[in-house]
Amino acid sequence: DILSGFDELKIAVAYELDGERLMYPPLTNEDVERVIPVYETLPGWMEDISDVRRMVDLPANARAYIDRIAALLETPIHTVSVGPERDQLAQA
């Protein structure tokens, strides 16, 4: 719901520290200050999704964004919030 209206969305997929690619954030505060996030950019969507209740009915770019996050996390996503109310959920 909050992501609707953006031309593009970025997902941090890794970090770079001193030329080395890290798959997890660094552990020390000193390294956190020097790390550079590595982003993937995906197209956004303009449609209002607040009334969508099935994930298959989401805009194609929203589904692609969810699918990419699921792939990066290696975890299926069965439910997403599409609005501020507790019942505003889209389910697989």
Domain that holds residue 72: 8-91
25 domain-assigned:
yes
1 domain-assigned:
no
Determine how many CB atoms are found less than 10 A away from the CB of residue 18. Answer: 9
Q: How far apart are CA 14 and CA 66, in angstroms?
A: 18
2 domain-assigned:
no
17 domain-assigned:
yes
33 domain-assigned:
yes
**pLDDT tens for residues 47-92?**
999 999 999 999 999 999 999 999 999 999 999 999 999 999 999 9
Residue-level pLDDT at 34: 95
User: In the block, which residue shows the tokens 């982003």?
Assistant: 39
Q: How far apart are CA 16 and CA 50, in angstroms?
A: 36
Q: What is the CATH number of the domain that holds 69?
A: 3.90.170.10
User: In the block, which residue shows the tokens 């975890």?
Assistant: 75
3 domain-assigned:
no
Residue-level pLDDT at 1: 76
pTM of the full structure: 0.87
Domain count, the chain: 1
- Residue 44 buriedness (CB in 10 A; 0-12 / 13-18 / 19+): middle
